[in-house]
Amino acid sequence: MERKSVLIVDDSSLARMMVRKIFATRFPDWNLVEAKDGEEALSLTSDEVLLALVDFNMPGMNGIELAEKLMERNPRLLVYLVTANIQERMHQRAESMGIGFIKKPIAENKIAEILKSFV
Amino acid sequence: MNHWDAKHMHAGSDDLAGPGSDDEMFFLTEMEEDALKEFFNMGLGMAAASLSQMVDNEVLLSLPQLKVVSYAEATRMLVSDSEEKLVAIRQNFTGELTGTALLIFPGAESLELVRTLLNEQMPLEVLVELEQETLQDVGNVVLNAFLESFTQMMSIQFEFEAAEFLKGSGSFLLDISSHLAAQRRALSDVDDSGGERAFVLMMDFKTHDEEETQRTLSGFVVLLFSQHSMEILKRELKVILANL
């Protein structure tokens, strides 16, 4: 069976390493695809990617702009914005697009909760 | 690039403490610097979320630029080529990490922030009257959120003193003897052995409504750490990175 893939987009290496560690220790059956910005994410994503964890504040396009493009390409993709900056208007805008939120610093149990929907 | 950016951008990457700088013990590796940036980003994100609740509006942040510089460099960056009066909210923190956090705005722009916060048109004299109190509240929210990002990520505990409002030139605002005097009021044992380093973060932020009018408010967050605190910070960064 093909491994499920998760796309992690963050300009911070530390942030990507933290998510990588959670997946490596708790969910090793997931394949990780990492990108440091929106452009790279768009070049690396594929139909195998089921979940995208996207930083909001990045050079180039922001997380919501990227999410929009990713979802256009792959409508079944589940996208979560990963940010410490959760504001009401942003929340509403993201929710209306079907994008979820994960608060930084990212918690292991939040990932576990999201991955339940893929079981 | 706006006036404020242009004025401060001349402190470029040459200013980063690195190999060959006069004090190599403060050299941060690429990963350590990346980690610090991420903590600061989280802090700014939390601060923006809190500010957004205060102004009942979306607060948009630019990507902050981080410089790790000597105290003298930080002063140079702020003093720059302008005699412009600045306002600052100072918050000292004490504990395992001891230092001073400053949120600094150009004086004229700070009144605009007060106007936005109070969400109504007011005569200038009333705005000026409310400036200190309002900015102290803003400083409290921003700097607390900012410093909390450190405590979330590191096993470091520290406490914040009450925020203070300052107004003056860049060199006045960064006057280290004034910060040490303030710390002394709170602590019996202050490390004033010299070698202070500063983290300087430059950022623009604007409310959603201001985006439509192309107005932005630019500011700095400056963190001044003693030599001892810098060593603790570096040690904590190493521990975090080693565990990943």
Task: Report the gap between the CA of A39 and the closest CA in chain B (Å).
Answer: 17
Handedness of CA A56, A60, A64, A70 (dihedral sign): negative
Residue type, B155: S
User: Cβ-count burial of A59 within 10 angstroms (0-12 exposed, 13-18 middle, 19+ buried)?
Assistant: exposed
Q: Does A17 touch chain B (CB under 8 A)?
A: yes
Q: What local confidence, expressed as pLDDT, does residue A110 receive?
A: 95
Q: What local confidence, expressed as pLDDT, does residue B210 receive?
A: 59
* Nearest of A28, A22, A15 to residue A63 by alpha carbon: A15
Asked if residue A86 lies in contact with residue B47, where contact means CB atoms within 8 angstroms, the answer is no
Q: Does A92 touch chain B (CB under 8 A)?
A: no
Instruction: Give the closest of B52, B63, B241 to A57, CB-based.
Output: B63
Encode burial over A83-117: b for 16+ CB neighbours within 10 A, e otherwise: bbbbbeebeeebeeeebeebbbbbeeebbeebbee
B48/A87 touch (CB, cutoff 8 Å), yes or no: yes
CA triplet B85, B88, B94: central angle to 5 degrees? Answer: 150
Below-70 pLDDT ranges, chain B: 1-26, 79-84, 119-120, 176-198, 201-217
Structure tokens at A85: 């900056």
Query: How far apart, in whole angstroms, are the C-alpha atoms of residue A78 and residue B238?
Result: 34
Task: Please give the full DSSP string across A61-117, using - where no structure is assigned.
Answer: S-HHHHHHHHHHH-TT-EEEEEES---HHHHHHHHHTT-EEEESSP-HHHHHHHHGG
Chain A residue whose CA is closest to B37: A12
Task: Report the gap between the CA of B63 and the closest CA in chain A (Å).
Answer: 7
Instruction: Give the closest of B34, B42, B53 to A84, CB-based.
Output: B42
Q: Which residue has the tokens 């009450």?
A: B162
Q: How far is CA A28 from CA A8, A31, B90, B106, in A?
A: 15, 8, 46, 50
Q: Does A25 touch chain B (CB under 8 A)?
A: no
B52/A105 touch (CB, cutoff 8 Å), yes or no: no
Q: What local confidence, expressed as pLDDT, does residue B80 receive?
A: 60
Cis before residue A105, ω within 30 degrees of 0?
yes
Query: How far apart, in whole angstroms, are the C-alpha atoms of residue A116 and residue B47?
Result: 32
Chain B residue whose CA is closest to A10: B38
Domain B25-242 has CATH 3.60.60.10: no
Angle at which helices B30-55 and A13-26 cross, to 10°: 100
Confidence of residue A61 (pLDDT cuts 50, 70, 90): very high
Q: What local confidence, expressed as pLDDT, does residue A77 receive?
A: 95
Chain A residue whose CA is closest to B39: A105
Write down the pTM of the prediction: 0.78
Query: How far apart, in whole angstroms, are the C-alpha atoms of residue A53 and residue A67?
Result: 9
Q: What local confidence, expressed as pLDDT, does residue A4 receive?
A: 92
Query: How far apart, in whole angstroms, are the C-alpha atoms of residue B168 and residue B162?
Result: 20
Q: Does A89 touch chain B (CB under 8 A)?
A: yes
Handedness of CA A80, A81, A82, A83 (dihedral sign): negative
Q: Does A12 touch chain B (CB under 8 A)?
A: yes
Q: What local confidence, expressed as pLDDT, does residue B75 receive?
A: 74
Helix (H) or strand (E) holding B172: helix B170-173
Q: What local confidence, expressed as pLDDT, does residue A80 receive?
A: 96
Q: What local confidence, expressed as pLDDT, does residue B115 receive?
A: 77
B49/A85 touch (CB, cutoff 8 Å), yes or no: yes
Mean pLDDT of A88-115: 90
What does DSSP assign to residue B98?
-
Dump pLDDT digits (tens) for A34-51: 999 999 999 999 999 999
Chain A residue whose CA is closest to B48: A85
Q: Which residue has the tokens 């009257």?
A: B129
Residue B78: count of CB within 10 angstroms of its CB: 25
Q: Does B65 touch chain A (CB under 8 A)?
A: no
Handedness of CA B154, B160, B164, B168 (dihedral sign): negative
Chain B residue whose CA is closest to A87: B49
A104/B45 touch (CB, cutoff 8 Å), yes or no: yes
Count A/B contacts: CB-CB distance under 8 Å: 60
Structure tokens at B85: 């009066």
| pLDDT higher at B111 or A25 | A25
Task: Report the gap between the CA of A78 and the closest CA in chain B (Å).
Answer: 23
Secondary structure (3-state) at B60: strand
Confidence of residue A22 (pLDDT cuts 50, 70, 90): very high
Handedness of CA B167, B169, B170, B173 (dihedral sign): negative
Q: What local confidence, expressed as pLDDT, does residue B211 receive?
A: 60
* CATH, domain range A4-118: 3.40.50.2300
Query: How far apart, in whole angstroms, are the C-alpha atoms of residue A8 and residue B222?
Result: 31
Q: What local confidence, expressed as pLDDT, does residue A65 receive?
A: 94
Domain boundaries, chain A: 4-118
Task: Report the gap between the CA of B62 and the closest CA in chain A (Å).
Answer: 8
A85/B63 touch (CB, cutoff 8 Å), yes or no: no
Query: How far apart, in whole angstroms, are the C-alpha atoms of residue B8 and residue B21?
Result: 21
Q: What local confidence, expressed as pLDDT, does residue B11 receive?
A: 33
A14/B48 touch (CB, cutoff 8 Å), yes or no: no
Q: What local confidence, expressed as pLDDT, does residue B151 receive?
A: 77
Q: B103 pairs with which residues across the strands?
A: B89, B221
B44/A89 touch (CB, cutoff 8 Å), yes or no: no
Q: What local confidence, expressed as pLDDT, does residue B8 receive?
A: 35
Domain boundaries, chain B: 25-242
